[in-house]
Structure 1
Amino acid sequence: MSARIAPGELGTITVRPRGASWTAQANGRDLAGFKRTVHATGTTKKDAKKVLRRKWESTTVASGRSLTKHSTIRHAAAVWLDESRSAVSAESLNAYRNRALNITDGRGTRGKYRGVRDREGGVGAMPLKMVTLSWVRREVLRTREEYGNAAAMETYSALRAILRTAVLHEALPYNPASGAVSVQDLPRSKDVHALRPDAFRAVWSALEAWGVGEPTFRVEKGRLMSLLQVGLLGALRCGEALAIREQDILADRIRISGTIVQPAKGPAYRQPFTKTRENSFVEFTPELHAVIEEQRRAMVPNAEGLLFASRAGTPIPVVNIGRTMRKFSSAHEPVFKALDFPHNEFTFHVMRRTAATLLQDEFGEDAARQALAHHGTTALRHYAAAPELGVTAESVKLLSSLF
């Protein structure tokens, strides 16, 4: 066998007649670099070659699958999903699966908000060797023209992840999606990322006045307000704020070490790690300490010691918080209209964006990144000098001024 055949590649296929059928044979090198000879039979020359390539792809092992330049986007998407299975939650994996189906087959379920949008046709049969930067760009911009920026961004992020998997399997020399489109190519029609201080105070005033005189609503509203305060002051995701336990409340800070997830079947539960699998912290200030102590007095006793728990003492699903926030925003649509902020865009994540925007404006990009527990680069976490992720007391004090 020629030494020029790279690991994972198949050499020249030879086809010979054998009675009424055809036999195909080829030498190849598996991903460990060892020589292998593959045989296959088909009714025609073309069929025999197809069967042989499928046999090669199904038996060359790399995380259970293999990819070559002859593999298709559909095959690469399947490998991406397989390798993501152990790294993300079931809910995230389902979202990835929908995005992959939308790209490969032109179908998929739309999410709760701006999730996957169904579209006609797919690109699953496209061989990896034919995928170029310009092809990715045309596909993303076509999606933008037909379905808008949100769908185009999802298409781009999914294609980039799928093609990155192909690069890791050495099926492609580089990722053709990297740099194919930029933020300027997918401009937002309106900035709905965050609330500016005056707008936030108007919304918070409406929230404080909401449901006055309704005793049955007082517990739900009080819990929501405390949760929003903790989430904003800590720049937290909703699931991370809901997952705070009494043992996470230390003398001078709150440790963020888990999140609440909702499986497709069964009740919500506390996952013992965050979305990024990195612990972070929120330093105490008198304002934040007062909010925590008030919630401690109101908390429902529960086995896990969750600061925020349902009346039955179980973890609160994130969707329940979203439902309460939508109820509030729908009831106060005129308030949001006066602020030129779409009421249906008011979500818990807006608190996190609001915090990040204020921190970036005041202290710079690094402070905002540190508060969001984002790494500047994927390699940063491996260095001893990497900054501790979390929200400093100075940042909490700035965010407290919003109230």
Structure 2
Amino acid sequence: MEIADIENDVLCEKIINDINAVLTRDPDVTSFEIIPTLSYQNKSPVIHVEHNLGLESWCAKHVYDFSHKTILASKLSGSKYIYNDSLVKYLNCALLINPDVTTFWHIRRQLVEKNKLKIQKEFQFAALVLTKKPKASEAFAYRRWLYPFQSAESIDWSIEIGICDRCADKSLSNYHAWSHRQWVLERASHLLRSEILHTEKFIKKHISDYSCYHYRQFVLQTIFDICYYDKEQNEYNSLRDFINFYLVDGVSSVGEIIQTLLPNIDLNATNEDKLKCFLYCCNFAAYDIKFCDDLKNLFGFRESFENHRRASLRFIVENCMRFNSSVECYQQPPVSKLSKFDYSSNAFLMALKKSEGMLGEQHRKWCSLFLNFDYSDNSD
């Protein structure tokens, strides 16, 4: 080894020790960044200010290469590593600089299983990694892997939602953050109602990021699947206004809304909770249709507005068809039965079909394909 290489290794070791000292001394470090700098300036490249950790860019590659080399050198014959405290500091630096190395996360998993690392500290470290690279899929996967090691009573799912929110806000079209958020919601259904509010705020801030619209559709479908509804909600104003937009003879009461959407339903044979969930979810979807129209009026045409409006419209139409086609409303008929639905038996759907068909040839094609609207009759 040449003298220059030795000096480089000594310098890298010092920088790694400085980073490790910060992480040890300040357990509340909340962010990590690589700070652009042109060259070495005869001072420590590790910057620590108010719980924020930074590393000057000139040394990042050297530190990563040294950490990578040292971790691999700790590997014995076969697939085993020598597990000690020094290995952790190299893992920390390597993953902070480049969190996409699956092998390094796997080593951390083995350390957790051997009780060499504390669970809470690992959650904090994974969150720190995500501040630098909010699309780090391995960091999200590691967090999901850690959760079974915690007791149900100690889990605060809202913290996980907050991390997803920050990552999505920092890096748009963040598939990994929104997928992780779906995973959280599947285990924390009590957050459904608050997610309606949170996603609306996010959409207003990032109007063209369709990832959030898609997640909002997931929230709506999850609400419907678990038969959730707000027991204190007795009015469905968005759904009422949506119906009245298409019909000459308007509706006002909940009973009239039900009769308009589901003219053939037998209320005595209908599951009450499912019916209330249907109204609650359709009101949600109707609100989003108006929401997209309002955004379009403010910002002009966006593909995200159009796609989300169509998804909301499809939800209402398909579930009206299902309720009207089912012997019992909570039994979903096969798609083949929906495709043969007789629209003439539902004045509201006929009016909606006619009105939507006036929005252009492309939209008519979409309605034909996804809503089974037949526009072959020119009278429609």
What TM-score comes out, normalization by structure 1 length?
0.26
What TM-score comes out, normalization by structure 2 length?
0.27
Which fold has the larger relative contact order, with Cα–Cα distance below 8 Å and residues 6 or more apart in sequence? 1
Query: Greater share of strand residues, 1 or 2?
Result: 1
Query: Greater share of helix residues, 1 or 2?
Result: 2
Give the number of the structure whose alpha-carbon radius of gyration is greater.
Answer: 2
